[in-house]
A and B are shown apart, each in its own frame.
Chain A
């Protein structure tokens, strides 16, 4: 299996831990991720001009050179999907193609890494590599943009793919009603109070389930829930202490990979208690 790979900006910065675990896990799985040359930012939610944003993603999609385009980030994934939908409008497509050095025909399929593992590889194949079934309870947290607005890979209301992945690894996915509720990540910089209160709601619900960790699929959610967890604790004067890990890190742990190789030492919330449970 081989994919073109679009890491997105966060993989070179705040999501370096995600990046490490993706490399390690995909190597074990034998899935080749070939990074596209000279990729550009997808515009996230902050390039306000919608046409420019479609054009940014079109340039990236074009660079996939006929392969499906894998991406680790919910935000990039959503922008790429939306660009393809926008490209169904021929006049917009022509206008944008005039600007691009290489024209894009609208045919590249963007795929989130979770989709590749659950749908393309399949959980049975994944299970063959498990060396250490995880005896833990985990919150499956999908965030917003993995399944919205395009709704092509999993349900936007009650997605199950991450739940199934967690079960396959031997762990128990807890019932979590906020699995697709916004974590506040996109407004973290400009409206911190509101962003932290959204995160607090997620944490309170996660604590109630008695889970050992939250599992995320997006660098933005991770920044908000891991790096900003302390800020939530001090703002609302509550104790959370909830490890937040990427789904690829969870897979890596079940594969018996070293936690440092998976970037778990780079988290701001300590994962020691979780690791002790995993190793036991």
Chain B
């Protein structure tokens, strides 16, 4: 008899903990509905509500074992609007952009492209890591010279990432083979490219101007529910 009570109590404690955990994971405050809607409104996001959580994306991903959240989980988290968890996860930066998930998804969601639209949002929110550094340097080099000279890229990246010094022998072996020209390859006149890179900046500003209004409307709708 006493034994039974013991089990019962334990179960009770266990289920309470579970409920607490679930509560902690998805309390209304951890959901950012404006963020969710911003993603769902994009061409990539419009199919996200149709996800059936089958997991073929996670199963196809060559690197999901290294991710904080698998692509399947990420899609669900977007549905829930878990902005902070999404933007702080390594998932979007681990993705190798191989598109295996995207060609297999039965709902035609493209998780690869979801990662692509999340990256600039993460950067705008102040997320910094090796990938964001490299991507920034890459864009900068292309904007200024029109082409991605490998030597220039790696030199600039090494200045910000001192651990790259370990790669010096590798770099030298490429130089000896004539595969890493030291003079950067350039195109003529990069004004057009500057305009290309600046278009988005102005467009994002416009969006930000519009967004606060939308945000209030959405929050009100949600509160009304």
Contact = CB atoms under 8 A, between A and B. Distances in A.
A12 interface: yes
B69 to A, nearest CB: 16
Given A48-B135, A148-B100, A194 B199 contact: no
Interface string A185-198: 11101110010001
Interface in B72-114: 93-94, 96-100, 102-103, 110, 112
Contacts of A156: 99, 103
Interface of B: 43, 62-63, 66, 93-94, 96-100, 102-103, 110, 112, 116-117, 119-120, 123, 130-131, 134-135, 138-139, 142, 146-151, 154, 157, 170, 173-174, 177-181, 185, 187-189, 192-193, 195-197, 199-200, 203
Interface in A241-280: 266-268
A128 interface: no
Interface stretch (A27-35, A37-45, A106-114, A129-137): A37-45
A198 B62 contact: yes
A40 B157 contact: no
A14 interface: yes
A7 B130 CA distance: 28
Contact of A13 (B151, B173, B196, B203): B151
A100 B196 CA distance: 8
Contact of A39 (B130, B187, B195): B187
B63 A198 contact: yes
Contacts of B98: 144-145, 148, 181-182
Contact of A194 (B66, B146, B181, B189): B66
B147 A46 contact: no
A50 B112 contact: no
A152 to B, nearest CB: 12
Given A9-B149, A9-B185, A99 B196 contact: yes
B97 A14 contact: no
A13 B180 contact: yes
Contacts of B149: 9, 12-13
A16 interface: yes
Smallest CB-CB A-B distances: 10 pairs: A148-B99, A46-B138, A144-B98, A182-B98, A149-B99, A55-B196, A190-B130, A9-B148, A156-B103, A49-B200
B200 to A, nearest CB: 4
B170 A227 contact: yes
B62 A182 contact: yes
Interface in A13-68: 13-17, 38-41, 43-52, 55-56, 59
B63 A48 contact: no
